[in-house]
Structure 1
Amino acid sequence: MQSIIIYVGAAMAEIAGCFAFWAWLRMGKSPVWLLPGCVSLVLFAWLLTRVESSEAGRAYAAYGGIYILSALLWLWLAEGVRPDRWDLIGAALCLCGAGVILFSPHRV
Structure 2
Amino acid sequence: MIKSIFYFLLACIFEVGGGYLVWIWIKGDRSLWIGILGMVMLIVYGLVATLQTSTFGRVFAGYGGIFIVFSIVWAAIFDGFKPDRFDYIGAVLILIGVFIMLYARNFMR
- Once the two structures are superposed, residues 28-86 of structure 1 have per-residue CA deviations (whole angstroms, 9 ceiling, x without a partner) of 11111122111110111111111121x20111011122111111110111112221111
Which consecutive aligned stretches of 4+ in structure 1 deviate over 3 angstroms post-superposition? none
Look up the equivalent residue of 2:95 and give its one-letter code. L
Consecutive unaligned residues in structure 2, runs of 5 or more = none
State the TM-score, normalizing by the size of structure 1.
0.89
Match of residue 80 from structure 1: 80
Match of residue 28 from structure 2: 27
Structure 2 residue matching 1:104: 3-state secondary structure: helix
Larger relative helix fraction: 2
Consecutive unaligned residues in structure 1, runs of 5 or more = none
Contact kept, 8 Å, 1:64 with 1:94, in 2: the verdict is no
Alignment partner of 1:99 is 2:85: no
Work out the CA distance in 2 between the residues paired with 1:82 and 1:52. Answer: 35
Structure 1 residue matching 2:71: 3-state secondary structure: helix
Look up the equivalent residue of 2:38 and give its one-letter code. G
RMSD of equivalent CA atoms:
1.4
